[in-house]
Amino acid sequence: MQAIANIWRNACSSVRDFVADKRALAATEFAVIVPLMLVMFFGTVEFSSAVAIDRKVTLIARALSDLTSQSTTLADADMKDTFTASISVIMPYDASLVKGTVSQIYIDANSVATVQWSKAGTIASGATQATLATSARKAGDKVTTMIPSTLLIPSTYLILSEASYTYTPSVGYVLKSSLPLSDLSYTRPRQVTCVPYNGVPSTC
């Protein structure tokens, strides 16, 4: 009888120990939760960086048009300074991934918008001064369709600035591919009717 009692006691003790041992349950929960937590963490980091850079791209576009519209005339040196100051807004992110473009647009009596001059600028990796580049927009290009109707005022000028940045996630855990970010801004020349660049246009 005592032997049976001991066996029963040992069996009950083993069952209690088995029920009380939650190590396997904790390990299972950990294995299920960790991937989800990693997705949430890296996703938040990557998405937050993309939003921050997108905001800076908007600020760059606004700075480019704002600085240009305050000028009375522009030469290459002035344009380099404008691009340098504007693109530097992207810091602490990589400024070499930013491309900026500034164009002056004339809206004729028929509300047709035409590019008068256009210039692009970048800052090379490790450089502190912007380098001018050829713009994709050419003098004479018609851009009426991209101008908001409220800005198509006959016989007026607009400064159009464009900024772009290709965001590549450092980890790539959630955002698997590069994300192109861009924005543009329009302003009117503030001190003169138009802003000549290297003598173009010769008269406003």
DSSP one-letter code for 153: -
Please enumerate in sequence order all residues whose Cβ is within 8 A of that of 99, keeping only pairs 6 or more positions apart, or say none. Answer: 120, 121, 122, 133, 163, 164, 165
Asked whether residue 170 is assigned to any structural domain, the reply reads yes
* Rounded Cα distance, 127 and 27, in Å: 51
Tell me the pLDDT band of 204, cut-offs 50, 70 and 90. Answer: confident
**Residue 35 sits in which domain range?**
2-187
User: 43-95, pLDDT tens digit by residue?
Assistant: 777 888 899 999 999 999 999 999 999 999 999 999 999 999 999 999 999 99
Give domain status of residue 192, yes or no: no
CA distance linking residue 72 with residue 74, whole number of Å: 7
Please choose, from the candidates 35, 93, 27, 33, the residue with its C-alpha nearest in 3D space to the C-alpha of residue 59.
93
In this structure, is residue 204 part of a structural domain? no
What is this structure's pTM? 0.80
What residues pair up with 104 in beta bridges, in sequence order? Answer: 117, 159
For residue 195, tell me if it sits in a domain.
Answer: no
In a domain, 73, yes or no: yes
Q: How many domains does the chain have?
A: 1
Q: Which residues pair with 166 in a beta bridge?
A: 180
| CB contact at 8 A, 86 and 94 | no
Residue 161 lies in a domain: yes
In a domain, 202, yes or no: no
In a domain, 79, yes or no: yes
